[in-house]
Amino acid sequence: MKKKIELVAPGGSLGKIEYAYHFGADAVYVGHPSFSLRARINKFTEKKLGKAVKLARKAGKRIYFTLNIYTHERHLETLEKHLKFIKKVRPDAIIASDPGIINLAMKILRGPTARSKRNADGPPRIHLSTQANTTNSEAARFWEKQGVSRIILAREVTLPEIKKIRKACPKMELEYFVHGAMCMSYSGRCLLSRWLESRSANLGDCVQPCRWPYRITHNVKPCLPAGRRGTQGNKEEIILSEDQHGTYFLNSKDLCLIEYLDKLSEAGINSFKIEGRTKSAYYVAIATKAYRQVLDAISSEKSRTEIKKISAEAKKELGKLVNRGYSTGFLFGKGGWENDFDHSHKVNQFQFVGETCPVKSRQRRVSDKVGEFNRVKIHNALRPGEKVEIITPDKIYSDKVLEIRRADGEKVKSAHGGSKNIFWVKFEKNFPEKSLVRKKLPNWKRSGIVKAEK
């Protein structure tokens, strides 16, 4: 049996970290909004980051802190303080792209032995962010000399290039993004948000203008047609279709490489990464579960036929998440990347409706009263009689809602998300905490563009 292959999942909150670990992640990446490329929808404080490290240690897992902004002089003083905090709480690694941050981290986290790699009980290691745009073996050699222990390769790197980088740097850990949103710029170095809204993507404040709908207007000045150069140097015209919503001509499809994890592992990738710190706990759990199943099949040296079958089933599950359509990105060179010109997201057949919660001591009285009920945090509407799927780390169950009661035990006809969103739900079977509940939407093909899960 091969060594277990590392799966790194997004940790957008303490709750999402718990779900990532529960559904099979070996490590999560998290970050303070002031220093990571997720300044928006990010409630992490240093206190919460400290709690996140404790969660990792309790679960026997790893945790990486992101410091992947591009710093200006005004950031340096607070950055030094944050690095001293990191030295105290000791995550397993930091993820950085700015040479200035890496240089400071070497001084503060490692001291005089700045170029030596971390041992099991030493200071956090340095992982080079994908924002550093490492696309070749010479760049990898350079960063190895600087004391970087892992390179998260640029998403633009192809499979043959990965093999060459691995051959040039046999001892370097290589990580690769295999799932999630794709930035329209070069590994995330986008200026569009700064230009349109004065909010810098390189400081974690991207407003995602590539996902906006645009309208075509008449331009009286002569200009060249929009296009890209083909293999023969000719211009390939891009036809923009527009409806009442406009056109989403910058909207890249999402990356999904679940069918090619064996090829990536053989090419020399040590760690596989899922994007999505702003996604829901449901998204993180389902994506993590799918990739864990395939990576475990590879680690246990199952046949290619078995791995292919498991990958196909896992991809079906990923299709039940809100997405923009899937592509293989740049892995196989030209032609793998695609855009969705018509929608910001694909219409989705399934809706996340809830998660089972632990029964705390103060709820025992009600628990004893209602009997075989699950305590469920409701995110979207749920009614008695509805068929649902219950997802656990090991299995997906088909089930049915038999009865719903409020937190005080009173019977109700429906449950909805909101401030008072904890209900007692009786299914045909009882399920452990951190099980996820979803349902199939009626008339889903006519339901329009799906909003992201709450």
Quick one: pLDDT at residue 386? 98
Question: Which of the listed CATH numbers 3.30.70.20, 2.40.30.10, 1.10.3720.10, 3.40.50.300 matches domain 350-446?
Answer: 2.40.30.10
Residue 227 in 3-state DSSP?
A: strand
Rounded Cα gap, residues 23 and 128, in angstroms: 26
Segments of the chain assigned to CATH 2.40.30.10: 350-446
Three-state SS for 255? strand
pTM above 0.95, yes or no: no
**What are 97-118's pLDDT values in tens digits?**
999 999 999 999 987 544 444 4
Q: Which homologous superfamily is 6-186+251-327 in?
A: Aldolase class I (3.20.20.70)
The dihedral through the CA atoms of 107, 110, 111, 116 has a sign that is: negative
Instruction: State the Cα–Cα distance between residues 71 and 64, nearest whole angstrom.
Output: 19
The DSSP H or E segment spanning 368 is helix 364-370
Q: What is the pLDDT of residue 381?
A: 96
β-partners of residue 243 are 246
Q: In which residue ranges of the chain is pLDDT below 50? A: 113-120, 223-236, 446-454
What's the start-to-end Cα distance of the chain, in Å? 39
CA distance 413 to 421: 14
Amino acid 242: pLDDT: 64
As annotated, the residues of the chain forming the CATH 3.20.20.70 domain(s) are 6-186+251-327
**Average pLDDT along the chain:** 86
